Amino acid sequence: MVYGERFTEALVYAARLHRDQVRKGSGVPYVTHLLVVAGTVGDAGGSEDEVIAALLHDGPEDQGGRETLREIERRFGSRVAGIVEGLTDTFETPKPAWRARKEAYLAHLPAASPSVLLVSIADKLHNARSIVSDVREGGEAVWSRFRGGRDGTVWYYRSLLATFRLCPVPPRLLEALAAAVADLEAVAVDERRGAKG
């Protein structure tokens, strides 16, 4: 498969949309996350629409809500916009309570389309790996970046893994997420012991 002009436009649009945004606490430009997720989707055999949706999946939630979703539909079509909408856990500003949003996201996954599931597991895989890496490097203080803290974050990723096990996702990505969640649990235990010591 060769990506066309829509993919190039999506790359530029995503870079502009998130140009002032960095990953929590790390200072890494946020667009790097979008590129990793899009690459993971592409490596898993995703279509051009799915790869484009991966590039744009955080746009409405972080940069403009439903207005941004409408712009995505105008530029890239209803299929891409539908995938992005299925990946968005809120359009509201300020965001509703963290736990309620995460529970609602988990509840909607079993009925989500294969395209939404593919981009979602790629997104959560990179997030989990990034958290593990950040905790290993930065220690206990890293957990304060997350609204759910250490325990809530571990609960969420365990729950995501359990939910994805019931869904039609690529086995390779499911195995990778399982390994990432095991690493997340391990660093959480290590940090808990360190905090007590």
CA dihedral 8, 10, 15, 21 (to 10 degrees): -160
Reported as a pLDDT band with limits 50, 70 and 90, residue 1 is: confident
Question: Out of 62, 71, 73, 89, which one is annotated catalytic?
Answer: 62
**pTM of the full structure:** 0.93
Question: Out of 48, 49, 50, 61, which one is annotated catalytic?
Answer: 61
> Is 62 a residue of the active site?
yes
Structure tokens at 192: 């808990």
> Is 61 a residue of the active site?
yes
Report the alpha-carbon distance of residue 68 to residue 57 in Å, rounded: 11
Reported as a pLDDT band with limits 50, 70 and 90, residue 137 is: very high
For residue 91, what are the domain limits?
5-196
Q: Which residues contact 47 (CB under 8 A, 6 or more apart)?
A: 1, 115
CATH code of the domain containing 87: 1.10.3210.10
Residue 23 has a pLDDT of 82
List for the chain the helix, strand, coil content (%; round to 5).
75, 0, 25
What is the mean pLDDT of the segment spanning 35-49?
98
The pLDDT mean for the chain works out to 93
- 163's enclosing H/E stretch is helix 149-164
Please tell me the total count of domains within the chain. 1
Residue 197 has a pLDDT of 46
Residue 38 has a pLDDT of 98
